[in-house]
Amino acid sequence: MADTDTMRFYAENAEAYARHRTRPTRQQLDAFLAQVEPGARILELGCGNGMDAHYMLERGFDVDATDGTPELVQAARQRIGDRARVMRFDDLDAENAYDGVWAAASLLHAPASDLPTILASIRRAVRSSGVFVASFKSGEGEGRDSMGRYFNYPSARSLEATYRAAGWTDLGLEKSMAGGYDGLATEWLWMTARCPS
């Protein structure tokens, strides 16, 4: 179940948040795209203003860009048209439909108690040997930021355990320091996983 306060924040601040993202997530996104075949079918969870989806579409990938906030989907549609649609994490019911899943700074808002179920549904949606990349703000448990947004704040160890319990294999975790919408320096956990063949 999505956090009401977090969803309200993005609905009320969609325009400002969309303007905040001016460049795609290049380094990690390029690394992700290098692991899937040209023209691969990709599900994006949390497309925001459509910046990353636009980058992938320009490179010939078949992108299904989704976001749980209708106001952000409208912003994305200004960039990528009807390739963006409203879908919350817990609405994902596809099976063997995608070659890869890209979830930059989105699943970090999923309630910690729901994350195992969401990761399992993503695994079902990915074809054999498909790649899944997601980023999280590192921490030691759930909390809210200064704007009232909910974050699950996993540690590297807890995140890996949650992925393994959901059936993901070939896990690779990288840490990086970068800012977020709040402008604060943050340690990010970038998890790469594969669907078992």
pLDDT tens-place string over residues 63-88 = 999 999 999 999 999 999 999 999 99
Q: What is the pTM of this model?
A: 0.95
State residue 153 phi and psi, 5-degree precision. Answer: 40, 65
Distances (CA, A) of 187 to 24, 63, 97, 158, 183: 19, 28, 32, 15, 13
pLDDT classification of 178: cutoffs 50, 70, 90: confident
Look up the CATH number of the domain holding residue 119. Answer: 3.40.50.150
The domain in which residue 172 lies consists of 4-194
Rounded to whole angstroms, the Cα distance separating 76 from 97 reads: 22
Specify the number of domains making up the chain.
1
- Model pLDDT, residue 2: 84
pLDDT tens-place string over residues 1-23 = 789 999 999 999 999 988 876 67
pLDDT tens-place string over residues 115-141 = 999 999 999 999 999 999 999 999 999
Distance between the two ends of the chain, CA-based, in angstroms? 30
